[in-house]
Structure 1
Amino acid sequence: MIQSREYKSSLKYFVQNLLKRNKGSRQKRKSNLPLRFLNEINDGFQERSHFAVKRKYPYYAPNECGHTNGQKYFRHDKRSTPSHGYWLGFILLIAFTAGLFPLPIQAQDSDHTLKVAVAANLLLPMQEVKKLYEEKYSGELILIPGSSGKLTAQIINGAPYDIFLAADMKYPQQVFNEGRAVSRPEALTRGRLVFWSKTRTEAPLEEWLQKNSDIKSIAIAQPELAPYGQRAKDWLSEKGIYEKVLPRVIFGESIGQVNQYIRSGTVEAAFTAISAMQAEVMKDIGYWQPLTVNSGEASQLDHGFVLLENAVAPELAINQFVEFVKSPIAAQVFQKFGYETY
């Protein structure tokens, strides 16, 4: 059978692909066009009428009507005649091209997976933000926790994350300076260093840490990788006891590992982030107190985010997350865990 140009057109394949995507349950359909409507358009491509249409130029060879006497005839081709379904599909394609209606394929933007590299100290509040985000949007939010330094190294080496949420603004700035970000870093929250111990402490804290023989292990995050580990080192150095307590220090890869030491009872004391002090699963364990550094100035850290060059999630999904994480709903979550918001 001779196939007409209309039958081979991209519009036909566009409609048939939509029909394939619409197979299955309603919940799994990718297109937002009614299936019956698509079938009607597709049927228009399949209908083929058989009245003859004369070509412009004469034809002397025997034609398909059986004439063999060499006389001049016009060739009679069985050509497709566009049906109402064809014209309906053609009109729709013009409308889509003009931007009057969104293409059905755009519905997939709401069905996304978003990967967020998040500093370990922000994992606790971000787990609640994740739950609220996924209730509002149909996409999945994957949190990849770690120390800010380690995540920065992964991103610079090409890790396929969409957004980076760090515990210190210097790390997103480093990512930006390395050309691995598509936007400048933006501050989101402010955190604070806290001290935890199994038993009640005595003032001044630095003397208690130095002289108390019961404190055999003190957990601190790696200063080179974790901002809160660096803040803890700064506090101990300012008090002049860092070198003295160093033999008893256990370094965790991140604040997340330090928090595991606290929950498991592995250590007698620890320096961690204020989110641990406010977390339901940790706040009733032992004793907590916020710390100050540099002659009374609060030991605070600005936390921020940056959009990454290697992002694979749709731009719409990334923008939705940024809008949500800066919203009053997310701000309430961060404040619940002791963070200040901007």
Structure 2
Amino acid sequence: MLRLHLRRGSSNSMYLVALGSLVVVVILGVLLMNGGKKRTGKRRTMSNTTQSATASSDSVELFMYCAAGMRYPMEEIVKRYEEEYGVVVQLLYGGSNTLLSQLEVSKTGDLYLAGDSSYTQKAQEKGLAHERLVLAKMKPVIAVQQDNPKNIQGIDDLLREDVKVAAGDPDAAAVGKKTRKLLTASGQWETLNERVTDNGVFKLTVNEVANDVKLGSVDAGIIWDSTVAQYDELIAIETPELNKGLATIEIAVLESSQQPTDALHFARYVAASDRGSKIFSEMGFEAMDGDKWEDAPEITFFSGSINRRALDPIIKAFELREGVTVLTRYDGCGMLTASMRAMRKDQSSGFPDAYMACDVYYLDTVRDWFQDDVNISEAEIVLVAKKGNPKNIRGVDDLLREDVRLVLGHPEQCTIGVLTTQLLKEAGIYDELTETKDIPMKQSSAMLIPDVITEAADVTVAYITDTHGEAEKLEVIHVDSASAKAVQPYSIARSSEFKHLTGRLYDHIAASRNIFEAAGFTWRLDQPAGSE
């Protein structure tokens, strides 16, 4: 483990961080070359990953940059993970910002665990990190020895002449950065900074601050409450100024990883409620409610048929990267929601972990079972005739003509049926149309276009996205109405045991604007979403 120490003040911190970054490149090179020598172990196999084609019975080695304050829980988690899966995880400890600088220089490694989400967010913005998984929360406190000999009760006591203070270096450690931000807001940072520089010490990691307090080298230090819980010799003193500084611990999969599926497997293990999260909680952290642990989980995804053309490639890529299975059911949303109601009534299995409806209408009917939704896209509703438009259909009024044969979606089985009914009622022709014509009804939008192509019908009302696969055989007639559109929302089931995994599926969908637009959808994600 690389350790860089600052004796007094912080004037040399950037120089040492830069020097440490150069040193760590050499260290990483050695570690990663050694990692190429695979160690025998209980390697899991995942037939749906690209790695399965070349995997041997040997184990994987992962390399992770780990914030020093998470050393104790991570050592235990890594130990258990290696025992369970035979995968070796090498850990490099340091301050969160120091590690970020190092991985930016080296551009190697698999994972990055930071003491605050601001660092993983920055890593993502720099193109260094991909997925980010939330692990736990913590806040800064004043740490003193058990008997509190200097009777320190708050920040003002740290400014006393007789009190020697250790703090995290704001340019290296997450706790230092958080301390500077909070005490700048309270107007106390400038004075504390001077006191620490003149008569205290800035440290590169939170553990070094805690050790100084433990050994009596200083009278007090500002560290995380979770760090205090790991030292029997210390007690925590909460203050109003520091209580506002809740930090979120995250683990990120790095873009530099050559084995992202294995890295994600470990990250899921660390975040799982009955694996890593449990250990974080036992060691004094405010652990987040993670997914339950499964080696190769399966999630169930219900989606309206309209979304299939866009979702299929996204789901396949997601399965490959995550090493999971997505059991996707495409159907008319009326059929899907009817199945949901039956499952709830019978308390049977199979209820979806996530649902992407053809339109918000069919999410509203089951909204109580789902979390807040996000509008992903919209699809135009159009009239569709055979190429050349032999019946010269120009608008919805032409649907009343005796020589025009219709096929429509069933309003009780699919969204296009509901929206067609609304559209025709708005046009004032619905009652006359249904009274004068015997109209075949289909349970899904995907079943409408084939009837037009085979000349079983002259025209239908469909989503423009359904015409893309057979565009050379069809004529699209646009409808001049604000109601001629469907909006596709995505939502996660309240009952899902894999909310974070389905959240990452959403992230993949949200990053796939080009796929949706190529399938004929209009992108909506940057517009206000629906809510409960």
Please report the TM-score for the alignment, with normalisation by the length of structure 2: 0.42
Residue aligning to 1:333: 515
Distance (whole Å) between structure 2 residues aligned to residue 102 and residue 187 of structure 1: 40
Deviation, 1:204, is 4.5
Q: Report 1:293-332 matches (<5 A).
A: 293=481, 297-311=482-496, 314-327=498-511, 330-332=512-514
| Residue among 247, 250, 275 paired with 2:440 | 250
| Residue among 81, 92, 95 paired with 1:103 | 81
Q: Does 1:145 align with 2:330?
A: yes
C-alpha offsets along residues 191-214 of structure 1, whole Å, 9 cap, x if unaligned? Answer: 22111112345364244332251x
Residue aligning to 2:128: none
| Residue among 172, 187, 195 paired with 2:363 | 172
Deviation, 1:145, is 0.8
Q: 1:203 to 1:222 in 2, by over 3 A?
A: closer
Residue aligning to 1:239: 427
C-alpha offsets along residues 231-266 of structure 1, whole Å, 9 cap, x if unaligned? Answer: 212232333332343324111012122234344443
**Which runs of no fewer than 5 residues in structure 1 stay unpaired?**
1-17, 35-93
**Which residue identity does 1:271 align to in structure 2?**
V
The structure that has the greater radius of gyration is 1
Q: 1:244 to 1:326 in 2, by over 3 A?
A: same
Q: Does 1:288 align with 2:266?
A: no
Query: Does the 8 A contact of 2:334 with 2:413 survive in 1?
Result: yes
Deviation, 1:220, is 1.1
Distance (whole Å) between structure 1 residues aligned to residue 44 and residue 364 of structure 2: 45
Distance (whole Å) between structure 2 residues aligned to residue 145 and residue 122 of structure 1: 8
Query: Does the 8 A contact of 1:32 with 1:107 survive in 2?
Result: no
Please report the TM-score for the alignment, with normalisation by the length of structure 1: 0.63
Residue aligning to 1:90: none
Deviation, 1:311, is 3.2
**Which residue identity does 1:256 align to in structure 2?**
A
Q: Does 1:160 align with 2:342?
A: no
Residue aligning to 2:161: none
Deviation, 1:187, is 1.3
Distance (whole Å) between structure 2 residues aligned to residue 170 and residue 30 of structure 1: 51
Q: Which moved more, 1:148-157 or 1:128-137?
A: 128-137
**Which residue identity does 2:315 align to in structure 1?**
K
Q: Report 1:202-281 matches (<5 A).
A: 202=392, 204-213=394-403, 215-216=404-405, 218-246=406-434, 247-277=437-467, 279=468, 281=469
Distance (whole Å) between structure 2 residues aligned to residue 223 and residue 170 of structure 1: 11
**Which runs of no fewer than 5 residues in structure 2 stay unpaired?**
1-39, 47-51, 63-71, 86-263, 269-294, 345-349, 526-532
Residue aligning to 2:378: 190
Query: Partner of 1:27: helix, strand, or coil?
Result: coil
Seq. identity, %: 12
Residue aligning to 2:312: 127
Would you say how many aligned residue pairs link Structure 1 and Structure 2?
254
Residue aligning to 2:298: 113
Distance (whole Å) between structure 2 residues aligned to residue 33 and residue 95 of structure 1: 19
Deviation, 1:137, is 3.8
Deviation, 1:172, is 2.7
Q: 1:31 to 1:164 in 2, by over 3 A?
A: farther
RMSD of aligned Cα (Å): 3.4
Q: 1:153 to 1:239 in 2, by over 3 A?
A: same
Deviation, 1:164, is 0.4
Q: 1:22 to 1:225 in 2, by over 3 A?
A: closer
Query: Partner of 2:473: helix, strand, or coil?
Result: coil
Q: 1:162 to 1:207 in 2, by over 3 A?
A: closer
Query: Does the 8 A contact of 1:120 with 1:255 survive in 2?
Result: yes
Query: Does the 8 A contact of 1:192 with 1:299 survive in 2?
Result: yes
Q: 1:204 to 1:28 in 2, by over 3 A?
A: same
Q: 1:155 to 1:23 in 2, by over 3 A?
A: closer
Query: Does the 8 A contact of 1:192 with 1:298 survive in 2?
Result: no
Deviation, 1:273, is 0.8
Query: Partner of 2:314: helix, strand, or coil?
Result: helix
Query: Does the 8 A contact of 1:222 with 1:251 survive in 2?
Result: yes
Distance (whole Å) between structure 2 residues aligned to residue 264 and residue 28 of structure 1: 51
Query: Does the 8 A contact of 1:112 with 1:317 survive in 2?
Result: no
